[in-house]
Each structure stands twice: as structure tokens, then as C-alpha cells.
Amino acid sequence: MSRRFSLGQCAAIVLALLLNVGPAAGDDPVAGNGTLPPLHVKQGYGIKGLVLWLAADSGITTDAQGQVIKIADRTGNFTLATTAGNPGPTLVPKVLNGLPILRFDGKQSLYSPYNFGAALDHAMTFIIVAMTNGAPYEEFSLYLGKNASQGYNRAMAVLNGNELFDGQWVGCQGEPAVKQVFVMTGTSINASLTQATFYRNRKQIMTSSLLPASTATFQEVSDGVTLGAAPVQLYGWNGDIAEELVYDRQLSAAEMQNLWVALSAKYALPHSTPVSTSSAQTPSTGTSP
């Protein structure tokens, strides 16, 4: 499989699949056909429409070596776990304002086989608190759907050093990603699926058009939620992730500012001191609250 993008700020994602790279049979950590009951839609930091909330300080289960084997979504919609041959990230405590982070080495991920139903057919917003060490080509922090057919996924990545919204053959690049600094990044998609607006910390960075006639190419998000990679274990994240949120609507500039206020206070952002990638203290086996 290969991926190619044009050099413009907005780019078509040209993907040639030699095989279906969705989860292999037997890899699903939870039995099921990918269908969940209607999603819980909750508030996150006082803002309505939250359908996915993954955080290193909540719902984490580790093994004796501090490797994460499971994370529970705080909305109650999903549980992501390791899959056969794909280890989870390392839980590193007391990194950001006394709070833990998930450390990915480019070869680790967590996965759920379930989907969002019709919840993400149109407008949506990603919020990510993370640090990238800088991948040589491409790395995904969060991937919703299968890496398969045109328009069936929504994902956030860094491509060739730039932030990226990936809609599977429909994409839009943002500004250059900040390396080795923890920041809050956000990307919102409008209801007509024609524009992506990028945020970094408290500022709106840019709004870029998706491909012409992009509404014809977007489909209902397919099965699967992958943290730290594209499925299955492609283009893995090389860096740290503290928290990721997905809302089922386009948040306003005021709401994005409110999220920045809350998350910057929680994590003391921006955290400008690169965090050592050497071994840190190992947390005890168990599940966080």
C-alpha cells in the first residue's frame, strides 16, 4: 500500500490498496460485528456533542511492565485494546503538570472494532493534546474507520511535517506541526464537508477547502477506532498523547477557546520542554479510575 499527497495546503489522498487492511479475523479485542447500540453523546469540559474521550489519566489498564493493554472511552461508547501482534503504548506517569501520558514508538496502538453509526456523517471536531517527535513520512494520532474504501474514515495525522485531516482520498493539510512540544491541536469539519479549520492552542490557524465535490466522496464512518496508528499498525505515532476528544459537530471559535482554557490549565500547556524518551518509572499493574 502506498500513500501520496500533492504539495498544496489541501491535498487529495491518493491511496492504492493491494489488500483490505482492516482488522484480520480474530484480531478484534471484543467479540461483535462492529455495531454498537446508539452512542452516548455527552459533554466534555462543558461542551455538548462529545462521542469519544480518551485520556491517559482515566480508564487505563496496564500490564506489569507499564504497557497499556486497554483504555476505556470516558463517554462509555468504546473500549480500545491491544490486538494480536500489536502492543500498546507505555503509560508514563507525572509528565504533564503531574499527569500521565501515553508514549508511542511508531509500532504501538490500541483498537476497537466498533463504529459511530451515523454520528459522524457530517460536521465533527477533533481535539488532541499530544507531542510528536517527528516521523519521517506520516503518523496517525487517531483513526476512525477502516483504512479501506474512499471516504469511509476520518483521521488526524502528521504528513511530511504538516498537520493533516484525512478523509480517505479527501484530505486537507494544515500548518507545519510543532515537534517535541506538547500542544493542543484541533480540526473541525463543517456540515457540508467542504472545509477543515485548524487550531493550535488558543489560535485559529487556517481554514482550507477540501476537494471539490467532497460531499460526494464522504461516506458513513466504517468500523474501527484506532489510537496511535492507522489500521492495522500502519503509520504509527512517534511521540506522546495525553488526551483526545471527538465531537459530533463543528465547534464554534468560542467553544474552541473554552477547550483551550480548560486543557491548558489541566496540562500547563504549551509544555515546551522536550520530555526524555528514556525509560521512566513503571506504574503498577491495574486499572486507573
- pLDDT of 136-192, one tens digit each? 678 999 999 886 666 778 889 888 888 888 876 666 666 677 788 899 999 998 888
Give dist(CA 185, CA 271) in Å, integer. Answer: 13
5 in any annotated domain: no
In the numeric block, which cell numbers belong to residue 201? 492552542
Instruction: Provide the CATH number for the domain around residue 183.
Output: 2.60.120.200
Place of cell 462509555: 76
**In terms of residue numbers, what domain contains 212?**
39-272
The CA R_g of the chain, rounded to the nearest whole Å, is 17
114 in any annotated domain: yes
Give dist(CA 149, CA 147) in Å, integer. Answer: 7
Number of structural domains (the chain) is 1
* Sign of the Cα pseudo-torsion (53, 58, 60, 66, in order): positive
Q: What is the DSSP letter of 186?
A: E
- Please report how many Cα atoms fall inside a 13 Å half-sphere around the Cα of residue 166, on the Cβ side: 31
Question: Whole-model pTM above 0.85?
Answer: no
179 in any annotated domain: yes
Specify whether the CB–CB gap between 188 and 49 falls below 8 A. no
Q: What are phi and psi of 52, to 5 degrees?
A: -150, 130
33 in any annotated domain: no
Specify whether the CB–CB gap between 237 and 141 falls below 8 A. yes
Per-position pLDDT tens, the chain of length 289? 333 333 333 333 322 222 223 333 233 333 334 566 668 889 999 999 999 999 999 999 999 989 999 999 999 999 999 998 889 999 999 999 999 999 999 999 999 999 887 777 788 999 999 999 876 678 999 999 886 666 778 889 888 888 888 876 666 666 677 788 899 999 998 888 888 888 988 888 888 777 655 455 677 788 889 999 988 778 899 999 999 999 999 999 999 999 999 999 999 997 554 444 333 333 333 444 3
Report the largest interatomic distance among the alpha carbons of the chain, rounded to a whole angstrom: 51
Is omega for the bond preceding 270 within 30 degrees of 0, making it cis?
A: yes
- Please report how many Cα atoms fall inside a 13 Å half-sphere around the Cα of residue 214, on the Cβ side: 29
